[in-house]
Amino acid sequence: MNKTMRNVLGGIALLVSMAAGAQEYAPELQLSDDEAVCWYRICNAAPGMEGYAMTDANAVENGGEQDDALRLSVYLLPTEAEDFRSQWKLTAGEDGKVVITNRATGSQISNHSANSGDHNFTWLTFSNDAPGFIVTSLGDDAYRLESVEDDGVNRCLALAERGGEALAYPGSGESTSVVAWKFFPVEIETGIGSAKTDNAVIRVKGKHISVNGCPQWQLFNAQGEEMPRTVSLTTGIYVVKMPQKTVKVMVP
């Protein structure tokens, strides 16, 4: 199975889940809102799949029109960290669910799937009405994503291979299984939409903090000590001070 997984270039299936209990959203992941947006690469936690991220391969270039039929499924592709097609934000949905939206296209991962041989491949929706997924921590920084579909069946988002053998849902839901996903923060934008900062946007990329739209800003650590703005930071809380506003920023 591991050899098969390493050769996968396309295919995320929704598989029948053996445990459908509603769970609280895992607080370790950051939900995006009007004030802060965290963009993640979402990779499968199965061995050999570390470099393959959930990708909306249907991004349109140069203002072209998108054929609705092409926006069918999500793929696992070995893209670069800077590729917006492989970056997703998490926002609050109804009933404690989490909605997953692509940075390049604005498409959302739906809880509706289409049958393709032995697998049900998940659809993308671009109407901003995806109901979202229940997010459950499996330990080791891995999470399970599950949702009840229109047919009333509770399914998990899982790694699969087109044309391959049907995958059995792992009853234990272990953190290295095909239903386990890891979220790697790529960039955090803070202060979005704040008139008080003249539309300044704070970005966290890698281990660096930058501010666009406000040239006069200062960086302080949690102890209140001013730091060089270009320094490579360690994980923790920092303070960005601007003329009209002071913002706490988390570096993952």
* Pair 72, 121: CB distance under 8 Å: yes
The runs of H, that is alpha helices, within 142-209 are none
| 104-162 pLDDT, tens digit each | 888 899 877 777 666 667 778 777 778 899 999 998 999 999 888 777 778 888 887 66
| Helical (H) or strand (E) element with 4 | helix 2-6
Q: Take residue 222 and report the two structure tokens written for it.
A: 């949690």
205-214 long-range contacts (CB < 8 A, ≥24 apart) are: 206/232, 207/232, 207/233, 207/234, 207/251, 208/232, 208/233, 209/233, 209/238, 209/240, 209/249, 209/251, 211/240, 211/242, 214/242, 214/243
- Can you give the residue ranges of every domain in the chain? 2-185, 191-251
Whole-number average pLDDT of the chain: 75
Q: What is the pLDDT of residue 160?
A: 74
pTM of the model: 0.71
| 24-41 pLDDT, tens digit each | 555 578 899 887 888 999
Q: Pick from 101, 88, 86: which is nearest to 52 by CA?
A: 86
Q: Pick from 86, 128, 91: which is nearest to 107 by CA?
A: 128
Helix (H, G, I), strand (E, B) or coil at 69: helix
* pLDDT exceeds 70 at position 203: yes
Please give the CATH architecture assigned to the domain spanning 2-185. Trefoil (2.80)
| 27-82 pLDDT, tens digit each | 578 899 887 888 999 999 988 888 899 988 776 544 445 444 445 577 888 888 88
Q: Write out the E strands in 30-180.
A: 36-44, 53-55, 75-77, 88-92, 98-102, 108-116, 119-125, 134-139, 142-148, 154-159
